[in-house]
Amino acid sequence: MSNQPIGIFDSGIGGLTVATQVRKYCPGEEIIYFGDTARVPYGTKSARIVCQFSYQNTRFLLQFRPKLVVIACHTASCLATDYLKQEFPSLVLVDVLKPSVEKALNHTRSGRIGVIGTTATINSKRYQMSLESANNSIRVYATACPLFVPLVEEGWIDNQVSREIASIYLRPLKQKKVDTVILACTHYPLLRKVIAGVLGDGVRLIDPSEEVAAQVAAHLRRGAANRSSVGRGRLRLYFSDCSPRLKKVVRLFLGQTKVTIKELKPDFLPEVFNV
């Protein structure tokens, strides 16, 4: 098992923030990344469809015999994790929700925690319920920030437009005097500078990609499943659709100039699926 890869899937390219952190924490591991760019975004879709797509994504990754699979998508983590654990009981699944919640609870001083994410993530109330059920004195203030994703993919991660939009979205959290904010979307870490500038120095930002990577590394150490090879492991990228600008955006997320990606044939998904 030690030489088997780590599988990661996301609704699109945002999960590359998670893949980047996993590579940082587990530099020798081979990573198979799948981004469902043909059907992005998941944040506006129903729970049933998110479960269906997540099931199909996991099935695709299983052909590589991964030692574990990371659900990098926050919407899928909120809506499909329980379903995937039921369908794949022997597979180790790591979602982005649990480690983010634990980190936020450990770092808040006032008990006032903010959560920002896609509309579906916020409407699922999974973050809110997880935080409040862990400590009934916690107060959670959640805000959907749907325009953050297109801003990042346009490369507008620190300009007048991004700052103005962030100021509008984050105003309610400032008014509630939160001291900790979970970035509950894989795109949002790229807007960290803008978000921090709006919220101020006294607010701790929780980047789930870092927390997930730390959890993956700890799991591998506990199970003695670390890859035995020396050197940097490969990152293999698969996408369900390769638009003309995909490479440009992928390079933005990975911070590198040379990227090789593979587009999947349209029929890669299982034909039959029932929720």
Q: What is the pLDDT of residues 96-155, one digit of tens each?
A: 999 999 999 999 999 999 999 989 899 999 999 999 999 989 999 999 999 999 999 888
Residue of 26, 73, 78, 242 marked active site:
73
Contacts of 39 (CB under 8 A, 6+ apart): 11, 53, 240
73 is catalytic: yes
- Cβ contact 116:182 at 8 Å: yes
Q: Which of 6, 3, 13, 2 is nearest to 238 (CA)?
A: 13
Question: At residue 18, what are phi and psi to the nearest 5 degrees?
Answer: -70, -45
41 upstream amide cis, omega within 30 of 0: yes
Query: pLDDT-derived band of residue 249, with 50, 70 and 90 as boundaries?
Result: confident
Looking up tokens 């297109």, which residue turns up? 150
Residues 164-189: what's their mean pLDDT? 96
Residues 255-266: what's their mean pLDDT? 67
Residues 50-72: what's their mean pLDDT? 95
Out of 12-16, 126-130, 270-274, which region has the weakest mean confidence (pLDDT)? 270-274
pLDDT at 154: 87
Q: Mean pLDDT in the chain?
A: 89
Residues 58-73: what's their mean pLDDT? 95
With a cut of 70, say whether residue 84 has pLDDT above it: yes
Please give the model's pTM, rounded to 2 decimal places. Answer: 0.87
The residue type of 172 is P
Report the residue count for the chain: 275
Structure tokens at 154: 């346009």
With a cut of 80, say whether residue 227 has pLDDT above it: no
pLDDT digits (tens, 9 = 90+) for 193-204: 999 999 999 999
pLDDT at 275: 30
Query: pLDDT-derived band of residue 272, with 50, 70 and 90 as boundaries?
Result: very low
Question: At residue 68, what are phi and psi to the nearest 5 degrees?
Answer: -160, 160
185 is catalytic: yes
Q: Which of 140, 196, 142, 205 is nearest to 166 (CA)?
A: 196
pLDDT at 273: 35
With a cut of 80, say whether residue 271 has pLDDT above it: no
Residue of 26, 78, 145, 185 marked active site:
185
Domains of the chain: 6-95+210-268 (3.40.50.1860), 97-208 (3.40.50.1860)
